[in-house]
Amino acid sequence: MNKYKTLVKREFWEHRGAFLYMPVVLAGLLVIAMIVGLYLIDRANVDISLTNNDSSFVIDFDKDEIKDANSDLIEQQVEERVEQQIEQVIESTLEDAVNPGEPNVKKLEERHIFIQFDEGDVVVLNDQDQQQRLDGFFEKNREGLDAGLYGIHYAFLITSWLVVLVYLLNTLYSDRRDRSILFWKSMPFSETQSVGVKLLVGIIAVPLLATVASWVVQLVYSVLAMIVASKMDLDPWQVIAPNLHIASAFVRQLGLVVYLAVWALPVCAWLMVASAYAKRSPFLVATVPVVLVFLGEWLLFRTSHIAAWIGSHMPINENFTDVFISGTGIISTLDLASVANIGSGAAIAAGLLAGAVWLRNHRFEI
C-alpha cells in the first residue's frame, strides 16, 4: 500500500499546478464572477410607473438612491417624486381644461414596479400581487436554478478533462525526456504499477478533485441565489431552497466521475501508448495514425464508423449533458448496446495499456 501511496504522491509532486491549482483558481474566478453579478443585480434600475385612465408617467431612479429593494423603502423614496409628478400633471391638465377651476385629473389608481435585470428578465410588481408575481418568476425559472448547478460543474469537468488528456499524453514521455525515469526505475516499483497509478490518477483523482471544488462553488451559488431572493422581500427557504436539488446533483456528479472514467478508457489508454512510444512529439504520435485510419476508411468504404466510435468514447460529448441534467441517471441509460460499447472499449484499453507497459520495459534509450 505504501508503494502505491508514494506513486500517487509522485504524480502530485510533478503536476501540482495542473492538479491542485487549476480547480482552486477556477473556483476563485467563478465565485468572483458570481459576486460581481450579485453586485450588478443589486444595482439594477427600478422604474416606478403610475397610471390612470387619462395620463401616465414613469419615475426612473437608480437602486443606489433607495439603498434597498424593500418595497416599503421604495414607497418612501418615491413618494416625494410622485407628488412632484402629480403637480406637473395637474398643471398640464389645467392648461387644457375648459374650466380651469376643475382640473381633469383622476386619482392614480394602479402602481406598477418594473425591476429590469441585466439579462433582460423583468419582474413586474404592483400593490395587489407583488408576492404572487415574484413567486411565479422564480417558479418559472426553477429549471434555471438547477441548470446553474450543472453549468458550474461542467465548467470544472471540461477543464479537468482537458488537463487529464494533456497529462496522459505527456506522462510517459516527460520522465524519459528529463531522464528522471532512471531514478524511479531504481525504486521497487514495476512498470505495470507505475502505468496503472498514472492512469487512475488521471481518470479518477483529477476529475474527483475538480468535482469537490465545483461543489464548493455550487454551494456559494446557492447562498447567493438566496441572498437575491431575500433582497426582494421573499423567503429564500420557500422560493429558492425547494428549487435547488443540491443533494441529487452532487450524487449524480459523483457518479459521472466514475462513468466518464470507464467510458473514456480506450482514448486514455491510446494517449498513454503514444506517450510511451514517442521520441519527440507525443501529440503527433497520437493524432497522425488516427487521422490516417479515418482517411483510409473514408476512401475505401465511404464510412466513418471508426471516427464515430472514437468520438463516442471521448470524455465529454453531448449525450452526457442530456443524461445528467435531465435526471435520467446512469443506470437507466445502460442498455445492451451501451454495455457492449463499454465492454469493447475496456478490452481495447487493456490491450493498449499492456502495450504501454511493454514499451516502458523495452525502450532502447532507457
279 and 208 in a common domain: yes
Answer whether residue 137 is part of any domain: no
- Whether residues 79 and 31 share a domain: the answer is no
Beta bridge partners of 124: 114
Q: Kindly state whether residues 151 and 281 are assigned to the same domain.
A: yes
Residues in the chain: 366
pLDDT at residue 334 in the model: 58
Residues spanned by the domain of 105: 45-116
Going by C-alpha positions, the residue among 185, 161, 181, 160 that lies closest to residue 171 is 181
Does residue 132 belong to any structural domain of this protein? no
Number of CB atoms found within 10 A of residue 124's CB: 14
Q: Are 49 and 148 in the same domain?
A: no
23 within a domain of the structure (yes/no): yes
Asked if the structure places residue 254 within a domain, the reply is yes
Residues with Cβ within 8 Å of 322's Cβ and at least 6 positions away in sequence, in order, are: none
How far, in Å, CA of 244 to CA of 250, rounded?
A: 11
Name the phi and psi angles at 215, rounded to 5: -60, -40
CB 123 within 8 A of CB 239: no
Residue 46, pLDDT score: 47
Helical residues (DSSP H) of the chain, grouped into ranges: 2-14, 16, 22-42, 63-66, 71-96, 130-140, 142-177, 181-185, 191-200, 206-231, 236-239, 246-263, 265-277, 282-301, 305-312, 318-326, 336-362
| pLDDT given at position 53 | 44
Q: Do the domain assignments include residue 136? A: no
Average pLDDT, 10 consecutive residues per value, the chain (366 residues): 82 87 92 85 52 48 49 55 62 55 44 46 48 52 73 91 93 86 80 92 94 94 85 75 83 88 92 92 92 90 83 69 51 63 88 93 66
Asked if residue 131 belongs to a domain, the reply is no
Query: What is the count of structural domains for the chain?
Result: 2
The half-sphere exposure of 198 on its side-chain side, counting CA atoms within 13 A, is 30
Angstrom CA distances, 179 to 62, 83, 139, 359, stand at: 64, 83, 60, 16
Query: What does the H/E/C string look like for 304-323?
Result: CHHHHHHHHCCCCCHHHHHH
130 lies in some domain? no
* Residues 241, 203 within the same domain: yes
What Rg do the C-alpha atoms of the chain give, in angstroms?
Answer: 31
Residues 6+ apart with CB under 8 A from 193: 3, 4, 7
Residues 209 and 355 both lie in one domain: yes
Q: Are residues 249 and 356 in the same domain?
A: yes
The pLDDT score that the predictor gives to residue 178 is: 82
Q: What is the pLDDT of residues 94-145, one digit of tens each?
A: 555 545 444 444 444 444 444 444 444 444 544 445 455 555 555 555 566 7
How far is residue 361 from each of residues 90, 175, 194, 261, measured CA to CA in Å?
Answer: 95, 14, 11, 26
In terms of domains, do 201 and 69 share one? no
What is the reported pLDDT for 51?
47
Tell me: do 159 and 306 sit in the same domain: yes
Q: What is the pLDDT of residue 91?
A: 63
Asked whether residue 133 is assigned to any structural domain, the reply reads no
Instruction: Give the whole-angstrom CA distance, residue 354 versus residue 352.
Output: 5
Residues 6+ positions from 131 with CB-CB distance below 8 Å: 234
Among the candidates 98, 116, 134, a domain finishes at 116
pTM above 0.85, yes or no: no
Task: Tell me: do 28 and 51 sit in the same domain.
Answer: no
93 and 200 share one domain: no
Say whether both 163 and 298 belong to one domain. yes
Can you give the pLDDT at residue 321?
54
- In the prediction, which pLDDT does 89 show? 56
